[in-house]
Amino acid sequence: MERLFTSVIIPAAGQGRRMNASINKQYLTLSGKPILAHTLDVFERCPLINEIILVVNKEEFRICQQQVLKLYHYKKVHLVEGGDTRQESVYQGLKAVNPRADIVMTHDGARPIIQESVIIESIYETMKHQATVVGVPAKNTIKVINVDGFVEHTPDRDYLVEIQTPQTFAFKLLREAHESARKEGIEGTDDAFLVERLGHPVKIVTGHYTNIKITTPEDLIIAESIIKRFDKNDKRGKKN
């Protein structure tokens, strides 16, 4: 396999107001260390990742350095100032990506239980398709409603996927997608949406239901339980 240069952008500048905490949720403790450190660990360890662009609020540079970067001695991480929205933060991260990069991933800082095997598969699939996103089959029945709150129709669940991260793209494709959106004033729900706007197909990489995004206090409890289960089975970082 030809050696690629792969970067990952981790936006961690969100305030996480639904967590009702006094600090950004990324720095809350999960199984003895900050949530963000768990996330960084997996990408730092993965041999196919060349650099990590960590995007945080300027006001949180100090806490990030003290509680995460210096404490855990990451070698791949470059700290970048974020924007007012996730999309703007990713764009700022894109500007900091090494020009040598072939592939760029984006991954939520608050998804600390991502599995290395999924990262690797995402990279391989992106080599073939130029654009991939991790997702899991929808468990619940989804209803499409109208503006008055009445059900319009029920889509076939076999064709519904709950999207996660990482989302992985050819560097030039993702950069073009973000620049096009900025020029037209488009705010997307995720990076894949911006690529879809260009008419480029996006391939699904099947992920795991354990790859949760920590948004509320209840999510923190669930994440603790998942990590304890993996640690008990001696599969931390090698989860299947």
pLDDT digits (tens, 9 = 90+) for 148-159: 999 999 999 999
Rounded to 10 deg, the angle between the 35-45 and 116-129 helix axes is: 60
Average pLDDT over residues 54-68: 95
Task: Give domain status of residue 25, yes or no.
Answer: yes
pLDDT at 128: 97
Q: What pLDDT is attached to residue 15?
A: 63
* pLDDT for the residue numbered 238: 47
Q: In the chain, how many domains are there?
A: 1
- Domain annotation covers residue 155: no
Q: Give me the domain span that covers residue 174.
A: 6-131+166-232
Neighbours of 148 (CB within 10 A): 5
Any bridge partners for residue 115, and if so which?
A: none
102 backbone φψ class: left, alpha, beta (φ>0; ψ -120 to 50): alpha
What's the token pair of residue 29? 């403790």
Q: Is residue 1 part of a domain?
A: no
Cis peptide before 166 (omega within 30 of 0): yes
Can you count the helices (H) and strands (E) in the chain?
Answer: 8, 11
| Tokens encoding 20 | 């009702």
How many percent of the chain have pLDDT more than 90? 88
141 within some domain: no
Given a contact cutoff of 8 angstroms between Cβ atoms, the answer to whether 77 and 71 are in contact is no
Give residue-wise pLDDT tens across range 12-36: 986 656 666 667 889 999 999 999 9
| R_g of the chain computed on alpha carbons | 18
- Identity of the amino acid at 55: V
Q: Using one digit for the tens of pLDDT, what is the confidence trace for 93-126?
A: 999 999 999 999 999 999 999 999 999 999 999 9
Q: Which residues of 164-200 are buried (b: 16+ CB within 10 A; e: fewer)?
A: bbbbbbbbebbbbbbeebeeeeeebebbbbbbbeeeb
3-class secondary structure, 186 = coil
How confident is the model at residue 21, as a pLDDT?
Answer: 62
What is the pairing mode between strands 144-145 and 151-153?
antiparallel
List the beta bridge partners of residue 145.
151
Strand duo 161-170 + 103-106: pairing: antiparallel
Identify whether 151 is part of a domain: no
- Kindly state the average pLDDT of the residues 196-225: 96
Helix H or strand E encompassing 34: strand 33-34
Contact 69, 61 (CB under 8 A): no
Whether residue 220 lies inside any domain: the answer is: yes
Answer yes or no: is 139 within a domain. Answer: no
What SS3 state is found at 86? helix
pLDDT tens digits, one per residue of 166-194: 999 999 999 999 999 999 999 999 999 99
Residue 56's domain is classified under what CATH number? 3.90.550.10
Question: Sign of the C-alpha dihedral, residues 225, 226, 227, 228?
Answer: positive
Residue 236 pLDDT > 50: no
Whole-structure pTM value = 0.93
- Kindly report the average pLDDT of the chain as a whole number: 93
